[in-house]
Amino acid sequence: EVQLVESGGGLVQPGGSLRLSCSASGFTFSIYWMHWVRQAPGKGLVWVSHIKNDGSSITYADSVKGRFTISRDNAKNTLYLQMNSLRAEDTAVYYCVRGTFDIWGQGTMVTVSS
Protein backbone atom coordinates (compact mmCIF):
# COMPACT_ATOMS: atom_id res chain seq x y z
CA GLU A 1 0.00 0.00 0.00
CA VAL A 2 1.27 3.43 -0.93
CA GLN A 3 1.60 5.39 2.29
CA LEU A 4 3.07 8.51 3.84
CA VAL A 5 3.28 8.77 7.62
CA GLU A 6 4.27 12.03 9.29
CA SER A 7 5.65 12.38 12.80
CA GLY A 8 7.39 14.93 14.97
CA GLY A 9 4.63 17.44 15.58
CA GLY A 10 3.84 18.87 18.99
CA LEU A 11 3.67 21.96 21.16
CA VAL A 12 6.58 24.37 20.97
CA GLN A 13 7.18 27.88 22.28
CA PRO A 14 7.57 30.83 19.92
CA GLY A 15 11.13 30.97 18.70
CA GLY A 16 11.58 27.24 19.17
CA SER A 17 12.36 24.45 16.73
CA LEU A 18 10.81 21.20 15.57
CA ARG A 19 11.79 18.57 13.04
CA LEU A 20 9.06 16.79 11.15
CA SER A 21 9.61 13.45 9.47
CA CYS A 22 7.63 11.66 6.79
CA SER A 23 8.16 7.97 6.21
CA ALA A 24 7.23 6.70 2.75
CA SER A 25 6.32 3.15 1.83
CA GLY A 26 4.75 1.21 -1.02
CA PHE A 27 6.45 3.15 -3.80
CA THR A 28 9.92 4.07 -5.06
CA PHE A 29 10.48 7.16 -2.94
CA SER A 30 13.72 8.14 -4.66
CA ILE A 31 12.10 8.97 -8.00
CA TYR A 32 9.45 11.35 -6.69
CA TRP A 33 9.51 15.03 -5.88
CA MET A 34 8.02 15.67 -2.46
CA HIS A 35 6.19 18.56 -0.81
CA TRP A 36 5.09 19.84 2.56
CA VAL A 37 1.65 21.49 2.69
CA ARG A 38 0.12 23.00 5.83
CA GLN A 39 -3.36 23.83 7.04
CA ALA A 40 -3.99 26.20 9.93
CA PRO A 41 -6.97 25.31 12.13
CA GLY A 42 -10.19 25.95 10.22
CA LYS A 43 -8.31 27.36 7.24
CA GLY A 44 -7.32 26.28 3.75
CA LEU A 45 -4.36 24.47 2.27
CA VAL A 46 -1.05 26.26 1.81
CA TRP A 47 2.00 24.89 0.04
CA VAL A 48 5.16 25.19 2.17
CA SER A 49 8.13 23.59 0.42
CA HIS A 50 9.24 21.16 -2.25
CA ILE A 51 12.32 19.05 -2.92
CA LYS A 52 13.25 17.35 -6.15
CA ASN A 53 13.76 13.58 -6.11
CA ASP A 54 17.54 13.83 -5.82
CA GLY A 55 17.53 16.91 -3.61
CA SER A 56 19.06 19.07 -6.34
CA SER A 57 16.22 21.60 -6.36
CA ILE A 58 14.44 23.03 -3.32
CA THR A 59 11.88 25.83 -3.03
CA TYR A 60 10.03 27.46 -0.15
CA ALA A 61 7.00 29.65 0.39
CA ASP A 62 8.02 33.21 1.24
CA SER A 63 6.42 32.83 4.67
CA VAL A 64 8.92 30.16 5.74
CA LYS A 65 11.99 31.04 3.71
CA GLY A 66 15.07 31.31 5.90
CA ARG A 67 13.41 29.52 8.81
CA PHE A 68 12.43 26.11 7.43
CA THR A 69 14.68 23.55 5.75
CA ILE A 70 13.42 20.63 3.70
CA SER A 71 15.60 17.57 3.18
CA ARG A 72 15.32 13.89 2.33
CA ASP A 73 17.14 10.62 2.84
CA ASN A 74 16.33 8.35 -0.07
CA ALA A 75 18.12 5.41 1.58
CA LYS A 76 15.68 5.68 4.48
CA ASN A 77 12.63 6.64 2.35
CA THR A 78 12.16 9.66 4.58
CA LEU A 79 11.35 13.33 4.04
CA TYR A 80 12.13 15.96 6.67
CA LEU A 81 11.16 19.50 7.54
CA GLN A 82 13.37 21.34 10.01
CA MET A 83 11.42 24.27 11.41
CA ASN A 84 13.29 27.00 13.30
CA SER A 85 12.28 30.36 14.72
CA LEU A 86 8.70 29.16 14.94
CA ARG A 87 5.88 31.69 15.18
CA ALA A 88 2.27 31.46 16.30
CA GLU A 89 1.21 31.70 12.65
CA ASP A 90 3.08 28.46 11.88
CA THR A 91 0.47 26.59 13.94
CA ALA A 92 -1.06 24.08 11.54
CA VAL A 93 -1.40 20.49 10.46
CA TYR A 94 1.59 19.70 8.25
CA TYR A 95 1.04 17.23 5.43
CA CYS A 96 3.69 15.33 3.53
CA VAL A 97 2.61 15.04 -0.12
CA ARG A 98 3.94 13.08 -3.07
CA GLY A 99 5.09 15.00 -6.14
CA THR A 100 1.93 15.40 -8.24
CA PHE A 101 -0.12 15.83 -5.04
CA ASP A 102 -1.70 12.41 -5.59
CA ILE A 103 -0.77 10.92 -2.22
CA TRP A 104 -1.10 12.72 1.13
CA GLY A 105 -0.09 11.68 4.62
CA GLN A 106 -2.42 11.87 7.60
CA GLY A 107 -0.72 15.03 8.82
CA THR A 108 1.03 16.03 12.04
CA MET A 109 -0.11 18.94 14.20
CA VAL A 110 2.33 21.69 15.12
CA THR A 111 1.23 24.16 17.78
CA VAL A 112 3.33 27.22 18.52
CA SER A 113 2.26 28.79 21.78
CA SER A 114 3.66 29.98 25.08
Partner 1 sequence: DVVMTQSPLSLPVTLGQPASISCRSSQSLVHSDGNTYLNWFQQRPGQSPRRLIYKVSNRDSGVPDRFSGSGSGTDFTLKISRVEAEDVGVYYCMQTTHWPPWTFGQGTKVEIK
Q: Is 61 in the site for partner 1 (CB under 8 A)?
A: yes
Binding mask 84-103 for partner 1 (x = CB under 8 A): -----------x----xxx-
Contacting residue, 25, 28, 30, 59, with partner 1 by CB under 8 A: 59
Contacting residue, 53, 91, 107, 109, with partner 1 by CB under 8 A: 107
Q: By rule CB under 8 A, what count of residues binds partner 1?
A: 18
Write the DSSP string, the chain: --EEEEE--EEE-TT--EEEEEEEESS-GGGS-EEEEEE-TT--EEEEEEE-TTSS-EEE-TTTTTTEEEEEETTTTEEEEEE-S--GGG-EEEEEEETTS--B---EEEEE--
Residues that bind partner 1 (CB under 8 A): 35, 44-47, 50, 59-62, 95, 100-102, 104-107
